[in-house]
Chain A
Amino acid sequence: MATLQLKQITKSFDDTHVIKGIDLEVNDKEFVVFVGPSGCGKSTLMRMIAGLESATSGDIVIDGQRINDVGPADRGLAMVFQSYALYPHMTVEDNMGFSMRLAKVPKEQRRQKVLEAAQILQLEPLLDRKPKALSGGQRQRVAIGRAIVRNPSIFLFDEPLSNLDAALRVQMRIELARLHEELDATMIYVTHDQIEAMTMADKIVVLHDGEVEQVGSPMELYHHPCNRFVAGFIGSPKMNFLEVGLERTHAEGVEIRLPGGGTCSVPADGSELAVDSALELGVRPEHLLLDDQGPLEGEIQVLERLGGQTSLYVQMGELMVTIMADGDVAHRVHDKVRFGFEPERAHLFDASGLALPSLHQHPLARLTRRDNRVASDADSL
């Protein structure tokens, strides 16, 4: 059992407010990812949970106990650092056993626990090596092993994959997801990479300028971003934003006037909108469809063929729009193309950047990674 609550946490360095009052609930065995651009405060938040940084105000509560004044080693947490922070002068075994050595655990017992962890991570053949003699991925695993050995109630990962190359990152991502299932522990994970967030999280916390923008499952954030920042941050390539005019609002949604003159009705709740509100339409590149009858038109400036997919960068007046199209599209640079979108896939943002609530709940929006698992378990039965 390990739950974590943050209550009105703030952190200031001198006059800069890095964290501006964060409330958060992490449930038992949950994989929570803090994601946000650099400087958003995600690492600071994690370091406060770890106890490496003190909170300026607010409560940090683990399993119902306020632990603001408890030292980092006594919070029952383990942390995997971005740089791995292995002790360079110790062997892998000593690295993993250091916490137990400090706690005066007998040698035999120490070795036993290290071996167990090493087995999980396939580190047995490396136990006598020094970190210098390990590859990046192996160091990463030792750092994780060092955390496992402590048997923590909550694992903290501070951008653990950012020092690995792309291929290894994919592999470690899978390994971490597997580890989460195997250890059945609560994990908090910091990253600036929204792909890592999307692939691993049960719950994503999007941070921006020291504040929580949105908390939700990956699919929820993808399909129902609550504001323009989250919409732009989650999803790759980035969502396209177009300024549109408000035609009228009605029970089934909001009718908007598109650049180029067409109109379209988006199923969103526009009841709060004033008559002449400025609106922004957001459509993800993968939801823009090439269509000779489509309401939008532009000229292709750049064309990136990835094989299975083709990215089109289309000039629409002042605006550059990205379209993810099929790999087989025959267009060339400087072709004029028409395109459109399904209204249910579109998002509307008001002048303050807030999303108009969608009238259609996406069927997968409540899905978490855990649900994926349960479903597959059920299939195998």
Chain B
Amino acid sequence: MDPKLKEVSQLFDRFKASFIRNDFDTCSNLLSQLKVLLTGFRSLPPLFADTPNAVHELTIASNILPPIRDIYEHAVVLSVKNEDQDAFERDFFQLKPYYTDACNRLPPSPQEYPILGLNLLRLLVQNRIAEFHTELELLSSAALENPCIKHAVELEQSFMEGAYNRVLSARQTVPHDTYVYFMDLLAKTVRDEIAGCSEKAYDYLSIKDAKQMLLFSSDQELLEYIKEEHPEWEIKNGSVFFQKAKESAPCKEIPSLQLINQTLSYARELERIV
């Protein structure tokens, strides 16, 4: 076995041991070393360079590529455990070629769909809906039927429709434990969405209903949230009044400048034609 490969293998074993112990600092250090070592294998994705070692690195792909793919899969999970979304994005993009370009040289990974679903969830949390749909287009119809992918797709659908309670109840039915971090982030987004919709749709809500709707366990939490996020809401007689917020919205003005510009452009174009 190539000494470089041996070193990677040993480092990865140490990484996994630290990962099981939840020693994430050590994991991060070992992962950095592993990534540096992996840059030496030019025949690996995304380069697939035709090196003298290529045969050794790729023809026995069943022995070598899965562990390397495994490294990146662990890296993705580690970034979730560390709650580092930027690291997640970097690691996911390093892993992606193993799922797309090297799929014919490798047996399918059991972690593929959970990680692809996790990435979709991240895009949803970050409100990158266009990218969410672009990623979705890359998935086969079989992949779309997978519970992990389906979970993310249904979440997006519910979120866009406004069925927020469906989004929140989905936290209880996550297909993978790594999803919890993003689901918690999504819950915060949902709370802000519900607040935004409520102030437009209701004249007032009782504190009890508002607390239930905005997912707070105590009145105190609700009052703090209103104080920080929506000071324009008014609390009196045990109810939250949104009327003040509605009144503060400016009445629609006539877009005079826009109209002047348009009229002048019509005149200019007419002059050019006639």
Partners in one complex: no
Chain A interface residues (CB < 8 Å from chain B): none
